[in-house]
Structure 1
């Protein structure tokens, strides 16, 4: 019989500059996302303290390599997860809202890299493009795209995150069973 790890008590940490050398561009605080509408009432970026510590390591590693991490999403309220699942009930890309998401635990972050001029590195697809081209194992992408994805993957893995096979932008802490689902008022969802 395996012993289960004790649940970690949670409180979210707001991710802001200059404490975190990142660019924050929360896609769901605007309309440039797969829903086509604003989901978050404000652009508040937050993570569980464990994920925030790993994010800081990743951000510093990216800076040493001449890049900056750009954050598209972090903690996601359950109400937002409900909206996403209703629009895209495909478990390859969106976690079933009834089961929860690692974003809803505050331990997942969606990121890319930007260069010194503030331009996104070419990753082959947009963030939240729910298609085969977004998968990590694609060998049919241009060499530059493969290098850029590998660079991001290396930075995030070295910092303590894990990837998922279907989204080049998504990184999370494991095991997720140690982290409870949250409903934190720090990030508010817009009314429908």
Structure 2
């Protein structure tokens, strides 16, 4: 079985890798052109289950990130060495294991639902347990959480967008993959 499989766009599943653009916390592309969305097969199955559930609710999933090379993780750790938001590259990330995905929800017209913060907003406002957010934002976050948990993922408390397999740490860190290369400094 392959360590990583590509996740292509599908009905109810849009791929928009944020680190392949300047629209992320670094303000520049981290992934080289041609980066593809990839996960281990077990995580891919859960993601496709989540996309089907979102579609049944008249929504879609937007994938911001999936497998992440260790070199990219090192870029993020150097920029924000805060373990609440970024895994220490020396320890490894569940993204680098190929079993974590960053997602948001899309409405029926394909527009992102309001989650209260942007993806990659590394502040307390991105935490799941916020009760000071507008009711519509809380509903959207709970809806995403329910879809992803039901599909077999677990969440982390500090990022509304991050989901991973419950047994993520049992997977080995993956070597660099040709599916996602990091831009040279």
- TM-score band, normalised by the shorter chain? over 0.9
Question: How many residues are treated as equivalent by the alignment?
Answer: 183
Kept in 2, the 8 Å contact 1:10–1:180? The answer is: no
Kept in 2, the 8 Å contact 1:21–1:56? The answer is: no
Q: Quick one: which of 177, 181, 185 aligns to 1:188?
A: 181
Kept in 1, the 8 Å contact 2:148–2:163? The answer is: yes
Question: For structure 2, which runs of at least 5 residues remain unmatched after alignment?
Answer: none
* TM alignment of 1:33-182, pairs within 5 A: 33-41=24-32, 42-182=34-174
More deviation in 100-109 or 35-44?
35-44
String of CA shifts for 1:55-99, please: whole Å, max 9, x gaps: 000000000000000000000000000000000000000000000
Question: For structure 1, which runs of at least 5 residues remain unmatched after alignment?
Answer: 1-8
Which residue pairs with 2:20 in the alignment? 29
Secondary structure at the counterpart of residue 147 of structure 2? helix
TM (normalized to structure 2)? 0.96
**How much has 1:10 moved relative to structure 2?**
5.7
RMSD: 1.1
Aligned counterparts of 1:17 and 1:87: Cα–Cα separation in 2: 30
Kept in 2, the 8 Å contact 1:75–1:107? The answer is: yes
Q: Which runs of 4+ in 1 moved over 3 A?
A: none
Find the structure with the greater CA-based Rg: 1
**How much has 1:116 moved relative to structure 2?**
1.3
Which residue pairs with 2:3 in the alignment? 11
TM (normalized to structure 1)? 0.93
Aligned counterparts of 1:69 and 1:17: Cα–Cα separation in 2: 10
Aligned counterparts of 1:111 and 1:166: Cα–Cα separation in 2: 14
Aligned counterparts of 1:144 and 1:132: Cα–Cα separation in 2: 18
**How much has 1:118 moved relative to structure 2?**
1.3
Aligned counterparts of 1:43 and 1:82: Cα–Cα separation in 2: 18
Kept in 1, the 8 Å contact 2:35–2:181? The answer is: no
